[in-house]
């Protein structure tokens, strides 16, 4: 009965959706997935963390094929933002009745791998384990953490959203990173609303001539390439295409943004004013514990509060979750799972591991991801 409404699409596929652990059941559900020529995916919004990565972990070759096909026809697509856009904001739902984000949590990783050492095998392992976003650390690694078109494209072909973190001094670098293929950039150490507003200008194109004056800090009009490889010089096409797919990320890791409620709320309001899912936040707990009296306990309380405040405004938040290391050096899986459960309950939907990409050689991507899947299932995702 669905086919008549989808006759314009060149591909119709039934993709299996199965639980991580079937428990011996032989029942299999299927989701109708349609790929159109623009590379968009017209399917039911993922209701669980497993569905968000294709229904099966380890991620299958068939799913990788779909991701590559979608990226080939829309090379500037942002998988994470498209997942966010497919769900209703809690700001428009009934929070008083207990409703919150309908979007399932996602798993991510901070990359300390230098740009010239990123390999297909590494990215495949990260994607196969179910990671949906990575942060290239151009803040602490300097030029070695500033990724380029080849690295960004490799992640996107595997369905992973690359986020470029930049140093606090950066301004025009944010727009340049987006032009190279990063789908979001990250601003660290913000302490005031003015700083955040300045950053938000750098990740957005100027308003059209009829919509207001442009600031010198706005993202520049450097052309990007479409699916055929042709350069896009049309301003309207840049705004309606590239401008929709890119995002900004504000790190909450100072006392001003975490414990000063008035300042925190003003920043969250400014982020929400940019439009649905245009800007998200990320709590830097370690940095915050160095700056906030009370240390880790105070940071944990402030993090939970900012997660709830952001959710009320329809702003997504992320944070790192991890337990103390076991004798083998791996983060304690039970403690990591509990930290992730608490984060999900506080409104966080971007959960990062408290390890770096260089740790995957010893620890293994699949093993590190297991606490995430357990936490998501415990929270109904």
What's the confidence (pLDDT) of residue 309?
A: 96
Q: What is the dihedral of CA 97, 98, 102, 104, to 10 degrees?
A: -170
From residue 235, alpha-carbon distances to 209, 231, 239, 241 in Å are 11, 12, 6, 10
Tens digits of residue pLDDT in 80-110? 999 999 987 665 544 433 357 789 999 999 9
- Give alpha helix (H) positions in the chain: 49-52, 61-73, 79-85, 120-128, 149-157, 172-180, 193-202, 235-237, 243-245, 255-258, 261-273, 285-291, 295-312, 333-345, 360-363, 365-378
For 65-71, the CB contacts below 8 A with 24+ separation are 66/13, 66/15, 66/33, 66/35, 66/41, 67/157, 67/158, 67/159, 68/157, 68/158, 69/11, 69/35, 69/39, 70/35, 70/39, 70/40, 70/41, 71/39, 71/153, 71/156, 71/157, 71/159
Helix axes 149-157, 61-73, angle to 10 degrees: 130
For the chain, state the CA radius of gyration.
Answer: 20
Give the closest residue to 252 by CA, choosing from 320, 303, 293, 198.
Answer: 303
SS3 label, residue 113: coil
The pair of structure tokens assigned to 147 is 């990724």
Query: What span, in angstroms and rounded, lies between the C-alpha atoms of 136 and 58?
Result: 23
The pair of structure tokens assigned to 57 is 């972990």
**Whether the predicted model's global pTM rises above the 0.85 cut:** yes
Examine residue 58 and say whether the peptide bond preceding it is cis (omega within 30 degrees of 0).
yes
Q: Which helix (H) or strand (E) holds 356?
A: strand 350-356
Stretches where the chain sits below pLDDT 70 are 1-44, 89-99, 208-213
What's the confidence (pLDDT) of residue 92?
A: 52
| Cβ neighbours around 372 below 10 Å, total | 27
The pair of structure tokens assigned to 55 is 């229904």
What pairs with residue 225 in β-bridges? 231
What's the confidence (pLDDT) of residue 296?
A: 87
The pair of structure tokens assigned to 141 is 């690694």
């Amino acid at each position: 009965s669905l086919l008549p409404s989808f006759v314009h699409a060149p591909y119709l596929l039934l993709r299996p959706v199965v639980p991580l652990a079937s428990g011996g059941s032989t029942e299999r559900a299927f989701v109708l997935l349609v790929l159109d020529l623009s590379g968009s995916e017209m399917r039911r919004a993922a209701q669980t963390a497993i569905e968000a990565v294709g229904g099966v972990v380890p991620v299958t070759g068939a799913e990788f094929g779909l991701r590559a096909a979608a990226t080939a026809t829309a090379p500037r697509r942002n998988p994470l933002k498209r997942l966010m856009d497919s769900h209703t904001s809690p700001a428009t739902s009934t929070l008083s009745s207990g409703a919150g984000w309908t979007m399932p949590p996602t798993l991510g990783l901070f990359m300390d791998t230098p740009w010239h050492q990123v390999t297909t095998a590494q990215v495949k392992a990260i994607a196969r384990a179910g990671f949906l976003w990575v942060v290239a650390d151009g803040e602490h690694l300097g030029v070695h953490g500033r990724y380029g078109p080849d690295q960004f494209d490799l992640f996107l072909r595997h369905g992973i959203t690359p986020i470029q973190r930049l140093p606090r001094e950066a301004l025009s670098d944010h727009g340049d990173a987006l032009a190279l293929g990063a789908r979001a950039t990250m601003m660290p150490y913000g302490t005031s609303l003015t700083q955040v507003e300045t950053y938000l200008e750098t990740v957005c194109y100027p308003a059209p001539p009829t919509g207001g004056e442009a600031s010198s800090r706005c993202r520049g009009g450097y052309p990007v390439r479409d699916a055929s490889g042709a350069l896009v010089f049309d301003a309207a096409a840049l705004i309606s295409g590239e401008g929709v797919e890119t995002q900004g990320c504000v790190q909450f890791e100072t006392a001003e943004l975490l414990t000063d409620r008035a300042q925190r709320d003003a920043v969250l309001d400014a982020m929400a004013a940019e439009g649905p899912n245009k800007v998200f936040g990320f709590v830097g707990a370690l940095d915050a514990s160095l700056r906030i009296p009370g240390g880790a306990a105070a940071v944990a309380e402030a993090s939970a509060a900012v997660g709830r405040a952001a959710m009320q405004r329809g702003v997504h938040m992320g944070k790192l979750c991890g337990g103390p290391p076991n004798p083998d050096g791996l983060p304690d899986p039970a403690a990591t799972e509990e930290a992730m459960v608490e984060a999900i309950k506080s409104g966080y939907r971007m959960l990062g591991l408290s390890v770096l990409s260089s740790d995957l050689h010893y620890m293994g991507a699949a093993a590190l991801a297991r606490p995430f899947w357990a936490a998501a299932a415990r929270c109904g995702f």
